Structure 1
Amino acid sequence: MNTTNFFCRGTPLLIIAVLAIIGNFLVCLAITRNKKLRTVTNYFLVSLAVSDILVGLVAIPCAMLTDLGQLFVLLQSSILSLLAVAAERYMAILLPFQYQHVMSPRNAHLALLVTWGLGAISGTVPLMNWNRQPMKTNGREHWKAGRCGCGRYRQEVIYCIFPCMVDMSYMVYFNFFCCLLVPLAAMFIIYGHIFLTVRRQLRCISSVAKSNMRKELGKATFLFLVLFLFMVCWMPIHIINCVLLFCPRCEVPMSLIVAAILFSHANSALNPILYAYRMRSFRHTLTGITSDWEKLTSKTNTQYMDSILIKAFSNEYLI
């Protein structure tokens, strides 16, 4: 990748990384500071936020250094966190009596461990020989020539193009069909069942119960928007992968691939904006954090100026 291409592709990625790290750090900070936000649902949102922070810290730098690669552990952890949120909302709304017993903080933490464990296992499958292997001739390894492969830069650094290192059958059959489409289908079924059941129940319950049910429905709607945003951001790159696998002769413009990958990474920066827009308690907590920070910086600056003045007067007195 030449310097111009690296700058053109790397700059948007760097901006996304900074926004993802700052935004999702504020999400974690807000939930830890406000006791009212420490709910089982928000535990899973913290897990999603941590995954998005790691996208900014790890996945995007790796993408910049390996010609737009992806770190699949974080993708799988994100989709599994969203699935856990959907299951939690299903139990909270449709099975409220079982919810208190099943969805305890301890079980929620256990679910988070399982989520990250499964994400780590499924995301590291390419390391278990499900990748493109170099050909061997005369005892030496080399890669197929052409658009795919590895090269040498200034005789010192070996660079590799990501889609040429990872088998496209893994990208489509395992990563897309099994690890993305199946959980997405399950979540759409869960949310569809929630919305239909709640609508039926709203017709035949008291006004007090209706108010509580509408609050739960509002939470479910917000979480469905998080899921929908995830799907919209990640679908383009997976559709392109399907085209590359099932239609090898089809030419996909590199600019389209780059745009799709940028779009997928942008999901990590957009989630905090959605939280701030839709969650009033989260918005108020962020306002409080900002206010505290302003007071702290103002106090620090005042103390600093006071110390300078004291030193100035002391020196003048000594003279």
Structure 2
Amino acid sequence: MAAELIIAFLSTIGNLLVCAAVGLNRKLRTVTNYFLVSLAVADICVGTIAIPCAILTDVGLPRHNLYLCLLMLSVLIMFTQSSIFSLLAVAVERYVAIFMPFRYHALMRPRNALFLILTTWLLAFLIGLVPLMGWHKTPPDSGYCFFVLVVDMTYMVYFNFFACVLTPLVIMFLIYAQIFVTVKRQMRRIAAEQGGRGEGQVRAAASTRREMKTATSLFLVLFLFTVCWMPLHVINCFLLLCPRCPVPLELLLTAIILSHANSAVNPFLYAYTMRAFRDTFKAIFLCCRMVGDREASNVTNGDGREGAADQNTHQT
């Protein structure tokens, strides 16, 4: 429980910082970062809503209320699905930027990005609410709200994992593979033409390097998401396909904590790999520190003035 609370705190604070950075720095207000803000909002919801719900259901609460139990168990599925769709939107946006550069500004307008974000959240909520619509197990006589006793594993494996998680992940990995192959080919071509290098070629080389760096940073976000979530989905497959295979409780809890931890790592990854985010984070911390120092100075000066006034009154 302590690990879950720490993850919830880091996830909430870190992703609020991501949203603040995009809101404060105009250079960060790009379509790519709008999708990353959508991902950050999903991670904030994991920290503030999903993890508290998971902690309650770990002890079997609420009891004898099937629909409230299913709603609490569906919350994490909703936000996970929203994260996947946000990552898919980022991959598609990068694909359009590299393979359809002349149509990029027409297709990836901020208004279109907002519409796409709203659509992904709506789809995520509909997918997460499927257990509430009837695809769930018969509740146990004890009335305890445990995930494996209430949520149907056929839903979690065949519908949620294979259709709604694994398929988008495969599509995203294929997109990034094509992006890396294409960008590397462009870099080799530019290097081969280096002898007659003009201003246009210099700009093309710089633009290609930026695209490669951005794609690498975003791929790391996707890779960490896959690493954090795949163990839990594999365990769900074992629970369904091999009911008699023992799954140690410690292994299951570790996989759950690892999946939740993914919501806390992205802000650190942005700070490490993206200079614009790193500089904005530093500016926010410095601003907060300056405000804190100014308030402390005002308090000290106020105490000094009050002390002097009291002394003058006493002397009078």
TM-score greater than 0.5 by the shorter chain: yes
What's 1:89 paired with? 94
Residue 19 of structure 1 aligns with which residue?
10
Supply the distance in 2 between the matched residues of 1:305 and 1:200 (Cα, whole angstroms).
Answer: 62
Q: Which residue of 2 aligns with 1:259?
A: 254
What is the alpha-carbon distance in structure 2 between the residues aligned to residue 307 and residue 208 of structure 1?
56
Indicate the residue corresponding to 1:38 in structure 2.
29
1:203 maps to 2:188: yes
Q: Name the SS of the counterpart of 1:66 in structure 2.
A: helix
- Cα distance in 1 for residues equivalent to 2:298 and 2:185: 61
Q: Hey, what does 1:76 align to over in structure 2?
A: 81
Counterpart Cα distance in 1 of 2:210 and 2:219: 14
Pair 1:295 & 2:280 matched: no
Distance 2:76 2:13 in 1: 20
The residue that corresponds to 1:67 in the other structure is 58
- Deviations 1:213-271, CA, capped at 9 Å, x for gaps: 12111101110110000000000000000000000001100000000000000001111
Unpaired runs of at least 5, structure 1:
1-9, 135-142, 145-149, 152-158
TM-score, normalising length: structure 2: 0.89
Give yes or no for the alignment of 1:188 onto 2:168: no
Aligned mates of 1:316, 1:251 — CA distance in 2: 77
What are the equivalent positions in structure 2 for 1:143-292 lying under 5 Å apart? 143=140, 150-151=142-143, 159-205=144-190, 206-292=201-287
2:307 to 288, 304, 312: 312
Deviations 1:137-177 (A, max 9, x none): xxxxxx25xxxxx45xxxxxxx4112211111111111111
Higher strand fraction (1 or 2): 1
Indicate the SS of the match to 1:96: coil
- Give 1:31 shift: 1.0
By how many angstroms is 1:313 displaced?
A: 2.0
For residue 311 of structure 1, report the CA deviation from its aligned partner.
1.9
1:288-309 CA distances to partner (integer Å, 9 max, x unpaired)?
A: 1111111100110111112222
Q: Percent identity?
A: 54
Distance 1:304 1:133 in 2: 62
Tell me the TM-score normalized by structure 1. 0.88
- Asked whether 1:50 is paired with 2:41, we answer yes
Distance in structure 2 (CA, Å) of the matches to 1:306 and 1:165: 61
Aligned mates of 2:186, 2:300 — CA distance in 1? 63
Residue type matched to 2:283 in 1? G
1:121 matched to 2:112? The reply is no
Secondary structure, in 3 states, of the residue corresponding to 1:204? helix
- CA distance in 1 between counterparts of 2:285 and 2:134 reads 48
Higher helix share: 2
**Segment drifting more, 88-97 vs 62-71:** 62-71
| Structure 2 gap segments, 5+ residues each | 60-72, 191-200
Offset at 1:202?
2.5
Give, in whole Å, the separation in 2 of the partners of 1:163 and 1:248: 11
Q: CA deviation at 1:44?
A: 0.3
My pick for the range that moved more, 286-295 or 83-92, is 286-295
- Aligned partner of 1:103 among 104, 108, 114: 108
The number of residues matched between the two structures is: 290
Q: Aligned-pair distance for 1:207?
A: 3.9
Aligned residue in 2 for 1:132: 137
- Runs of 4+ in structure 1 off by over 6 angstroms are none
Amino acid at match of 2:131: P
The AA in structure 2 aligned to 1:267 is N
2:4 is paired with a residue whose SS is: helix
